[in-house]
Amino acid sequence: MRILSFLVSLATTILLAYFLSNPIKIDPKVTIPPIGSFFSPFTGFWQNALSVDNFTNKKIKLPNCTQNVKIKIDDRMVPHIFAKNDHDLMYAQGYVTALNRLWQMDIATRAVSGRLSEILGTRTLNIDRTNRRKGFVFAAENALEEWKKDPKIYKQLETYAQGINDYIANLESKDYPIEFKLLNYKPEPWTPLKTALFVISMAQTLASQEFDLENSNALKLFGESDFNELYPDRNPKETPIITAGTKWDYIKETPLIPSQTVSSPVGDLFGVPRDVTEDPHVGSNNWTVSGAKTLDGFPILCNDPHLHLTLPSIWFEIQLNAPGINSYGVSLPGIPGVIIGFNDDIAWGITNTGWDVLDWYQIKWSNESKSSYILDGKPLQVNYRTERIVVRDSLAYIDSVKYTIWGPVVYEDHKNPKYGLAMRWLVHNVHTPDEMSSFFDLNRAHNFDQYYSATNKYCAPAQNIVFASHEGDIALRILGKMPARAKGEGKFVLDGSISSNGWKNTVPNSDNPMVKNPATNYICSANQITTTEDFPIYYGGSFDDYRGRYINRRLSEMDSIKIEDMMKLQADPYSILAEDALPVLMKNIDTTSLTVAEKAIYNDLKLWDYKFKADETAPTCFKMWWDTFSKTTWDEMFSIADSIPVTIPENWRTIDLLNNKPDYKYFDIKNTPVKETGKDIANLSFRKMCAQFADFSKDKSNGGGLWSNFKNTTIEHLGKIPAFGRKHIQVDGFKDAINATTEFNGPSWRMVVQLSQPVRAYGIYPGGQSGNPASKYYDNMIEKWTNGQLDELLFLKSDEESDKFICTLELTN
Amino acid sequence: MKNLITIIVISAACLLVQQYLPWWTALIVIALFSALMKIKPSKASLFGSFILGTMWLFYAMYLNFTNNGIIANRIGELFKGLSPAQLISFTGFLGVLMGGLSGLTGSLFVKAMIKGK
């Protein structure tokens, strides 16, 4: 009996302890971490609150620090690293980045390398499979192979990794960032390959946009003459980055490209499912004005890159100081150096170029096993690359990806088993040994010449890098290796059976478009088209129409510019899309037949100033109206989008057609017996919008239909854990306004730098320096960012004292 | 007095192992001491509950206080809207439950050995 009661007690205790020590799967998407260790205040989430915002001076002994390094933390929690040599500087940057953003660094490289399933199980297997098939790891490995050839730079990457790894080595499981505890896994060592993967993931975000399948389908469905009418290459109202009249006589090295015609496959439509309404919304603004236009006579440089807004934020602010370098700005957790920033003499900022560097090739299999394909009439064996995807709580998944001369076969055409689609991406193998020294040198540059030679080494993803110096120069270069294309190449799916059907060379940076000290005294890039049509090298891509035009307009009007004016401009919610579209829509409305409620909305819109302000209703009405109008007009494309991707004409073209060709045949709604015109669609979509708005504003939680409620800007947690994100941010802005906030995207860092001496710099991002959700520095900057305010940045010339510092970490050997 | 010393000794051992080892090693410590010190079953479960319960409860309370409830509010939201107070209570409850069971098991082990002979 006593033995029995002991055994019962023992069994209960062990069973319960076992139950509390293992994750519990509630449904395929929700797994609860082991309750015992997660709730234990000694090991679990409570530990992440231990001394989180308690800043005290510390001495930390680290094995690979060669001399003493001081990391001073200021009251915005920005680390200012003062090192005595480059090695220690990189090492300390790795260390302090890991200290604040360790989990983010892990997850950021996991997605791109197709390793999510290792921690999340079968539910992410398809994402991993697609990412493996697109050859992202292949690209990173190619980059690394090249980087190893330049030992000096490679050593920097290793040192950076060592800083991260020495931080990890000192951790016990109770110190792990909370996400590791929630998802029940451990941090792993950092490697230069992971830095390469991070670069590739940025390229995936910024340099993989194309509409090849969509364009090919549109051409087949609508014919060539309609295609040219629906999708013109250039918007006549555009304001290119490099203004008209620029001489191209500096272009020397690009080989002459034969004016051959590129051939596209004929036959079936491509039925590869892609979400045509998906708009990545990644864009950015940068501009600079010369001293001639500013009040104090110094150039001012501004930058706000728009990216998917997340917590932790993609950016980490830092100052780097060692002999030969004193730079400040934002870094990407995973890449050494400052990416957007300034030093004592220069400032630089980046926006995405948008050139098309990803092409699809139709592969014709030469046998049923698909082990070879036809090239120039002969069969050629594919290369296999084995992808082993480890899946948590399940068997590993093995995928054999076929590589052609163009690249990996990503999609098989199941409707037509004779064909496959291979992806040719510049970023797969464009890398050079000194690619990574581009930012290394830029951080240390002091004038235009040094900026020029530093950026010459830049490879991918292609960016518009704007520059201003204390000496008074302003400039902008389009940077990144670009394919030397034949005219029109890359617009449609290409025939993969002809080896001459694609670029053979890349354009060197020295031949890319650039502008220096223009007569206008300002330069602006906002993802608009790069040049006027006379630029001698062909390029295609997707470009933004509205922000660039507005910034150009404002900068040309402004004079005696102050820092505050630039901050205000960065937060400007005015949109030329609304300015162009609304009057054209309004003049078509038959006001005599409107109900009282409709008339009220009509009048509201009539008075609207085209500013997408958070607390107004007119922007909501306009956005609802425009979306409905566009969807109804282009019903030919939207109705089949689920199975066959087709390009949607651009907004400016839609406005243009309504204004100048209201009887255009595409205005007719296909599945109605009557023949509609643009006027009909405008009226019909207006009434639909009124009903939709009434419905939306009825809901009490929508504040009567306010724009911010409709837009619903959300900053998601990187792992999509809702409690770690921020919802319903009441912020101004619109995709086509300078203040480009949307539901999930927006200005991810705002910076204004005046090149005086000392430099005066301001910055803010919608997040916080700490990656720990228990810290008040996790999301402390969101409030100011929402209001369009920027913080003054503490930039010191040397290791001096400041009352802004809250503690010092001293790294010693 | 003896009780107090017992509690202090077990608490100290529990604190020590939890600094370095997984949470469940505290259960082994409680069971071990309950057996070695030949504590009666009722008392052993009471001590175990008291020791681990208060330790987890007060430590969680302390960490929550110094953190102004930031992380508790977030984790509470994750667990269907639990308040920080409820999270702290649940943490304490886990300590009470597991501490008590371990004490009882250790104590019953001694009884089973002695009388079983």
Q: What is the pLDDT of residues A95-121, one digit of tens each?
A: 999 999 999 999 999 999 999 999 999
Write a three-state SS string for A519-536. CCCEEEECCCCCCCCCCC
Identify the contact set of chain A against chain B, taking CB-CB distances under 8 A: 2-3, 5-6, 9-10, 12-13, 16-17, 20-21, 35-37, 39-52, 54, 172, 178, 182, 721-724, 773-776, 778
State residue A455's pLDDT score.
97
Structure tokens of B19? 């600094």
Query: Using one digit for the tens of pLDDT, what is the confidence trace for A634-649?
Result: 999 999 988 888 999 9
A547 pLDDT band, cuts 50/70/90, is very high
**Residue A185 and residue A100 in contact, taking contact as beta carbons nearer than 8 Å:** no
Please indicate, yes or no, if residue A692 is contained in any of the structural domains: yes
Query: Do A41 and B91 lie within an 8 Å CB cutoff?
Result: yes
Q: Is A254's pLDDT higher than 80?
A: no
ipTM above 0.90, yes or no: yes
Which site among A27, A29, A38, A46 would you substitute to test the B interface, given the most B Cβ atoms closer than 10 Å to its Cβ? A46
Please indicate, yes or no, if residue A598 is contained in any of the structural domains: yes
Scored b (16 or more CB within 10 A) or e, A256-289 reads ebeeeebebbeeebbbbeeebeeeebbbbbbbbb
A417 pLDDT band, cuts 50/70/90, is confident
Phi, psi at residue B48, to the nearest 5°?
-60, -50
Q: Which residues pair with A21 in a beta bridge?
A: none
Dmax over CA atoms of chain A, in Å, equals 100
Q: Is A257's pLDDT higher than 90?
A: no
Query: Using one digit for the tens of pLDDT, what is the confidence trace for B49-102?
Result: 999 999 999 999 999 999 999 999 999 999 988 999 999 999 999 999 999 999
State residue A250's pLDDT score.
86
For A18, nearest residue in chain B (alpha carbons) = B24
- DSSP code at position A573: -
Q: Which residues pair with A311 in a beta bridge?
A: A717
For B31, nearest residue in chain A (alpha carbons) = A10
Interface membership of B9 toward A (CB under 8 Å): no
Query: Do A17 and B24 lie within an 8 Å CB cutoff?
Result: yes
Query: Do B71 and A46 lie within an 8 Å CB cutoff?
Result: yes
Q: Is A486's pLDDT higher than 60?
A: yes
Q: Is B117's pLDDT higher than 50?
A: no
Please indicate, yes or no, if residue A656 is contained in any of the structural domains: yes
**Residue A726 distance to chain B (closest CA, Å):** 11
Interface membership of B104 toward A (CB under 8 Å): yes
Which residue, chain included where needed, has tokens 């009887």?
A: A663
State residue A247's pLDDT score.
86
CB contacts of B68 in chain A (<8 Å) are 776
Q: DSSP for A670-702, please give it.
A: TTSSS---HHHHHHHHHHHHHHHHHHHHHSGGG
Query: Do A50 and B60 lie within an 8 Å CB cutoff?
Result: no
Q: Is A280's pLDDT higher than 70?
A: no
Which site among A7, A12, A42, A56 would you substitute to test the B interface, given the most B Cβ atoms closer than 10 Å to its Cβ? A42
Mean pLDDT of A256-276: 68
CB contacts of A35 in chain B (<8 Å) are 94
A423 pLDDT band, cuts 50/70/90, is very high
Please indicate, yes or no, if residue A593 is contained in any of the structural domains: yes
In this prediction the pTM is 0.95
Interface membership of B20 toward A (CB under 8 Å): yes
Please indicate, yes or no, if residue A595 is contained in any of the structural domains: yes
Q: How many CB atoms lie within 10 A of CB A504?
A: 13
**Which amino acid, one-letter code, is at A690?**
C
For B113, nearest residue in chain A (alpha carbons) = A3
Query: Do B78 and A721 lie within an 8 Å CB cutoff?
Result: yes
Query: Do A41 and B112 lie within an 8 Å CB cutoff?
Result: no
A2 pLDDT band, cuts 50/70/90, is confident
The rounded mean pLDDT for chain A is: 94
State residue A277's pLDDT score.
39
Interface membership of B7 toward A (CB under 8 Å): no
A260 pLDDT band, cuts 50/70/90, is low
Least CB-CB distance to A17: which of B60, B67, B98?
Answer: B98
The helix or strand, by DSSP H or E, that contains position A746, with its residue range, turns out to be strand A745-747
Q: CA-CA distance, A533 to A491, in Å (whole number)?
A: 17
Least CB-CB distance to B70: which of A12, A35, A776?
Answer: A776
Chain B (58-77) residues lying within 8 Å, Cβ to Cβ, of chain A: 59-60, 63-64, 66-68, 70-72, 74-77
Query: Do B18 and A724 lie within an 8 Å CB cutoff?
Result: no
Query: Using one digit for the tens of pLDDT, what is the confidence trace for A171-201?
Result: 999 999 999 999 999 999 999 999 999 999 9
**Residue A94 and residue A160 in contact, taking contact as beta carbons nearer than 8 Å:** yes
Query: Do B63 and A40 lie within an 8 Å CB cutoff?
Result: no
Query: Do B116 and A774 lie within an 8 Å CB cutoff?
Result: no
Total of domains in chain A? 1
Q: CA-CA distance, A489 to A218, in Å (whole number)?
A: 16
Interface membership of B112 toward A (CB under 8 Å): yes
A261 pLDDT band, cuts 50/70/90, is low
Least CB-CB distance to B24: which of A10, A21, A773?
Answer: A21
Query: Using one digit for the tens of pLDDT, what is the confidence trace for A327-382?
Result: 999 999 999 999 999 999 999 999 999 999 999 999 999 998 999 999 999 999 99
Mean pLDDT of A392-397: 94
Q: DSSP for chain B, please give it.
A: -HHHHHHHHHHHHHHHHHHHS-TTHHHHHHHHHHHHTT--HHHHHHHHHHHHHHHHHHHHHHHHHHTTTHHHHHHHHHTTS--HHHHHHHHHHHHHHHHHHHHHHHHHHHHHHHHH-
Query: Do A37 and B23 lie within an 8 Å CB cutoff?
Result: yes
State residue B113's pLDDT score.
85
Share of chain A above pLDDT 70, in %: 98
CB contacts of A17 in chain B (<8 Å) are 24, 27, 98
Q: Is A278's pLDDT higher than 50?
A: no
State residue A601's pLDDT score.
97
CB contacts of A39 in chain B (<8 Å) are 56, 90-91, 94
Q: CA-CA distance, A264 to A717, in Å (whole number)?
A: 42
Least CB-CB distance to A49: which of B66, B111, B115?
Answer: B66
**Residue B89 distance to chain A (closest CA, Å):** 11
Residue A188 to residues A98, A166, A176, A552, Cα–Cα distance (Å) = 12, 12, 11, 47
State residue A414's pLDDT score.
73
Query: Using one digit for the tens of pLDDT, what is the confidence trace for A15-54?
Result: 999 999 999 988 878 889 999 999 999 999 999 998 788 8
**For A278-282, A744-748, A778-782, which range has the lowest pLDDT when averaged over its residues?**
A278-282
Interface membership of B31 toward A (CB under 8 Å): yes
State residue A545's pLDDT score.
87
Share of chain B above pLDDT 90, in %: 89
- DSSP code at position A173: G
Range of the domain at A604: 576-610+617-705
